[in-house]
Amino acid sequence: MKLLIRATNSILELLLLYVVILAGCAGLYALFEAKSFGDALWWAAVTATTTGYGDIYATTLGGRIVTVFLMHVTLLFILPLLIGRIIGTLIEDQHKFTDEEQRQLLADIAFIKARLAEEDGPKA
**pLDDT by 10-residue block (mean), the chain, 124 residues:** 69 89 97 96 93 88 95 91 84 80 94 89 61
Domains (range + CATH), the chain: 2-95 (1.10.287.70)
Considering Cα of 103, then 84, then 69, then 20, what sign does the dihedral take? negative
Tell me, what's the pLDDT at 14?
Answer: 87
Angle (nearest 5°) at CA 48 between 43 and 53: 50
Tell me, what's the pLDDT at 28?
Answer: 97
pTM flag (> 0.75): no
Tell me, what's the pLDDT at 31?
Answer: 97
Helix (H) or strand (E) holding 120: helix 99-120
Tell me, what's the pLDDT at 85?
Answer: 84
Contact by Cβ (8 Å): 14, 78: yes
